[in-house]
Amino acid sequence: MWVAIRRQLKRRYVLAFFEKLAPCLVGIEACASSHHWSRQLQALGHMVRLMPSAYVKPYVKRQKNDAASPTAAHRGLISRTVTDGLRLICLGGVRGKCSAAFSCCPRTSIAPSIPFPDRIRKLVMRKLILLCASLCSMVLLFAASPVWAQSVLWVAASGNDSNACGQTTPCATFQGAINKGGVAQINCLTSGNYGAVTITGPITIDCGTGNIGTVSVTGSSNSAIKINTPGFVTIVLRHLSLNGNNSAGFGINTTAFAGGTLVVEDCTIQSFLGDGILFEPSAGRGLLQVSDSRIFNNNTTGIIVSPASNQIASVTLNRVELTGNSSNGLALLTGVVAGTMRDSVVAGNGDDGVVTVATQVFFTVEGSSIVANLKTGIQTNSAGSVVNVGASTIGGNGTGVFPTAGSLISFGNNQMSANGTDGNFTSTTPLR
């Protein structure tokens, strides 16, 4: 590549000069009149490339002037164009402050050498990357779909446990579906009584909005749902109705639950000889989450949280009703327990509404009603108990609050009245 012509032209001679040239690639630094010159040169059969000043400025040596600008323009042009074997003609001094660099070559050999502008190249690369990612995702999805189809099983009132538990060939019971093996989720096609079940691994049982999966059991040695998991698992139970008929043992029994998470959503648990939910993580941290559920008329306690010694249980109760149980509404009995209860009702229980006996407790009751419990609304029975109460109603209990040991702290915005004895919080911590 070499400079064949270096010439200064007046405006009136520019078109006459280019009329004599074979079709060329013409590079022009963008300016106020660059589009005019582009149209004029294209009319003569030349190919024109307009370049932003940012592409030209890095090639300007010393000061920008009529001599330096064309040289910088042609260097900016060739840096983005394959120009081997081309002759470069540099012009300067055209009025209107436009600099131009012209490479003379047959047009057929120029066209293939012009690359995409940077922004187009980046856009194409981005589209290609997204396309490849989409193709990979589709391959993985199709590869995984048979496993997913097997891991989600279905039950229906009209099903049969000899079926494959598919959506068109459902099973009749939860246990029948679990016995198929490798199940991650069981869905209900219809409402029905699906029988007691023993859970041995992570699973979701969901009867869906509009359906109720009933588990009606009898016999003091039986529980509606028994969890027997040696490892750490996540178990989700939704839209179920567990009924012990005043003869079965527990609603949800976790005496063989090593640790993990138990989620109970939109369920009812009633009429068991034992507890509605017995939560006893034995080998590690356990998390119990109950929401939008009713646990009532059980012959002992609504919910018992009792992790093994030196183990921790976390409890989150939102919009839960613990009512009419013969003993306590909520009992935090052993180990270390931390958690919250919000927007809930604990009422009409035979002993205490909320009682803490565990070695260490840090628990908050907020926006809840603790009413009409026979003995106490809230009682702390261990030196390591700290229970905070805010924006709650405590009324109609034998004793409103009874801090036998530990700390029972008010946020100063509770309503307490109509108890046999209101009792006193150990301290008040104003809201900040």
Domain count, the chain: 2
pLDDT at 324: 97
382-422 tens-digit pLDDT: 999 999 999 999 999 999 999 999 999 999 999 999 999 99
**153: confidence class by pLDDT, cuts 50, 70, 90:** very high
Structural domain includes residue 381: yes
Domain that holds residue 55: 2-115
Q: Has residue 14 been placed in a domain?
A: yes
Last residue of a domain, one of 71, 100, 115: 115
47 to 3, 52, 105: CA distances (angstroms): 19, 17, 11
Q: Is the pLDDT of residue 15 over 50?
A: yes
For residues 284 and 259, the answer to whether their CB atoms sit within 8 Å is: yes
Q: How far apart are CA 391 and CA 383, in angstroms?
A: 25
| Residue 95: half-sphere exposure toward Cβ, Cα within 13 Å | 4
Tell me whether residue 277 is in a domain: no
User: What pTM value is reported for the model?
Assistant: 0.67
Structure tokens at 289: 């989450």
| Final residue before a domain boundary, out of 115, 146, 168 | 115
**Residue where one domain finishes, among candidates 115, 150, 175:** 115
Is 76 a residue whose pLDDT tops 90? no
Q: Rounded distance, CA 1 to CA 8, Å?
A: 21
Question: Distance (Å, rounded) from C-alpha 264 to C-alpha 274?
Answer: 18
- In this structure, what DSSP letter does residue 235 have? E
Residue 131 lies in a domain: no
92 is a domain residue: yes
Other CB atoms within 10 Å distance of the CB of residue 309: 9
Structure tokens at 120: 């187009």
pLDDT digits (tens, 9 = 90+) for 198-246: 999 999 999 987 889 999 999 888 899 999 998 899 999 999 999 999 9
CA dihedral 373, 377, 381, 387 (to 10 degrees): 150
The residue with greater pLDDT, 355 or 45, is 355
> Residue 291's pLDDT band (boundaries 50, 70, 90)?
very high
Q: Report the chain's mean pLDDT, rounded to a whole number.
A: 84
pLDDT at position 43: 87
User: Above 70 in pLDDT, residue 326?
Assistant: yes
pLDDT of residue 347: 97
Average pLDDT over residues 172-177: 94
∠ CA(201), CA(206), CA(211), 5° rounding?
150
Confidence of residue 103 (pLDDT cuts 50, 70, 90): very low
106 in a domain, yes or no?
yes
Exposure on the CB side of residue 16, measured as CA atoms within 13 A: 5
The verdict on residue 280 lying in a domain is no
Per-residue pLDDT of 240-282, as tens digits, reads 999 999 999 999 999 889 899 999 999 999 999 999 999 999 8
Answer yes or no: is 158 within a domain.
Answer: no
Q: What is the pLDDT of residue 74?
A: 57
Buried b (16+ CB within 10 A) or exposed e, 102-123: bbbbeeeebeeeeeeeeeeeee
- pLDDT recorded at residue 58: 67
